[in-house]
Structure formats: C-alpha cells, structure tokens
Amino acid sequence: MNVLSYALYKFCDILTLLLFARAVLSWFVNPYRYTSGNFLQQINALLIRVTEPIIAPCRKLLRNFNTGMFDFSIIVAMLAIQLIRNLIVRIL
C-alpha cells in the first residue's frame, strides 16, 4: 500500500468515525435548541457542518423510499464511504 492509498484509507476511516459520532451525539443533543455555552452542542454543530455535505445526497436519494421517522442516510453514507475506500485501495 503506497502513501496515497494509505492516506485515502485513513481519511475514509475518519469520515466514518465522524458520521458515527454524529449519529450517537444526535441521541443526546437537540440541534434546534442551541446555547453557546454547551460543549456538546458546539461539538454537534461542528459535526453537522462537516458531515452534512456527505449525508445530504444520501438523504435526497432515500427521500423516494418510505422509511417513516427513521433517517437511514447516515448508514447509507457510511456504506458508500466504505465501498469507495475499498475500491480506491484496490485500484491504487
């Protein structure tokens, strides 16, 4: 594995970790009730800003399916990142 493929591999791992952190933190923090002094809300706002460009296309894709009140876009984004990671590592 060369340096470029290793860097892309780790970058995809970090993105997956950020998506997982956003999913877990969403159980504890309400993003619509923001107070500037709360550390968890600041972390949650940062995670939303970083991961939303990844999740938005997945959410748009899943809009056609009736998933009820569940948002599976984070799971789809994680799977897509892992698939892309594996393809890139095999190519490089």
Distance CA 49, CA 47 (A): 5
Other C-beta atoms within 10 Å of 22: how many?
23
At residue 8, does pLDDT exceed 80? Answer: yes
Mean pLDDT of the region 41-60? 91
**Rounded distance between C-alpha atoms, residue 74 and residue 19, angstroms:** 7
**Radius of gyration over every alpha carbon of the chain, rounded to an integer in angstroms:** 15
Residue 74 has pLDDT above 90, yes or no: yes
HSE toward the beta carbon, residue 9, CA cutoff 13 A: 12
- Residue 32 CB contacts under 8 Å (≥ 6 apart), including other chains: none
pLDDT of 36 over the 80 cut: no
List the domain boundaries for the chain: 3-91
- What is the reported pTM? 0.84
Residue 35: pLDDT above 70? no
